[in-house]
Amino acid sequence: MIGLGTLGNIALILIGSTVGLLIKGGLKQRFQETIMSALGLAVMFIGIVGALEGLLVVDDGKLSGSNMMLMIVSLAIGSLIGEAVNIEEKLDRVGVWLKGKLKLSNGKEKGFVESFVNSSLLFCVGAMAIIGSIKDGLSADPSMLLAKGLIDGVTAIFFASTFGIGVFFSVIPVGLYQGIITFAAGIIEPFLTQRLVSNLSFIGSILIFAIGINMIFGKKIKTGNLLPAIVVPIIYELILVIL
């Protein structure tokens, strides 16, 4: 069944979020703050590892730089487009709208919008979401998205235990994002080279690092407005194929 991977991914996030919300009631504020810092560090290092895999290559036993120009161009063009569209503000508006529908006061769920935006970005950014959705769409193989779902579900436990119910609603953008890719898989698949997968993972990892910074230091980087940077490696691959 096509789409089973995304449905499974969503279910695992919901389960993890529910467990996290149950734990949250028994955690004092100082524990929540420490866990948030720890999670921020973990997210930053996940981003660092992925970014370094794209930036460094071993040549004759020596490390050398790679993809520097792709990184600069992707982030520069991505930020220009994202700022023009103001994706971050739109994500915030969705979070505020959901918060209003749930009738949550600032005192009851102060970090709802932040948790919704951060968890949505974290669960959507990365090669597994794209490759897994394409596999699901082409051959009804949900295995990669279910593996991603297990990771997301465990992450959701800790996120929800610290940030609150906003993490629960991250399934909405996850479902839309992965669902669109799944049903557009036939169009995307011919362009999906190993180089493109590596570049998507590379740029996605940089955005993951930015999410970690925001988790620890507050909203310093408009990560949502950097999302179009992921499109640049796709355009780059198309240019190389044409040339």
* 126/111 Cα distance (integer angstroms): 24
> Cα–Cα–Cα angle for 128, 130, 132, nearest 5°?
60
List b or e across 178-206, with b for residues whose CB sees 16 or more CB atoms inside 10 angstroms: bbebbeebeebeeebeeebbbbbbbbbbb
Query: What are the tens digits of pLDDT across the range 157-189?
Result: 988 988 888 899 999 999 999 999 999 888 877
Lowest mean pLDDT among 55-59, 162-166, 209-213, 225-229: 55-59
* 39/239 Cα distance (integer angstroms): 38
pLDDT band (50, 70, 90) for residue 135: confident
What's residue 109's pLDDT? Answer: 60
What's residue 105's pLDDT? Answer: 61
Query: What are the tens digits of pLDDT across the range 87-96?
Result: 989 988 888 8
* 182/189 Cα distance (integer angstroms): 10
pLDDT band (50, 70, 90) for residue 34: confident
What's residue 145's pLDDT? Answer: 93
pLDDT averaged over every residue in the chain: 86
Taking 70 as the threshold, does the pLDDT of residue 209 lie above it?
A: yes
What's residue 239's pLDDT? Answer: 84
| Global pTM value | 0.82
* 91/225 Cα distance (integer angstroms): 10
* 36/10 Cα distance (integer angstroms): 23
Query: What are the tens digits of pLDDT across the range 97-128?
Result: 888 887 766 555 667 888 898 899 889 887 78
What's residue 110's pLDDT? Answer: 60
pLDDT band (50, 70, 90) for residue 7: very high
What's residue 29's pLDDT? Answer: 77
| Mean pLDDT for the stretch of residues 187-196 | 80
- Provide, rounded to the nearest whole percent, the portion of the chain with pLDDT above 90: 31
Query: What are the tens digits of pLDDT across the range 43-56?
Result: 899 889 888 888 88
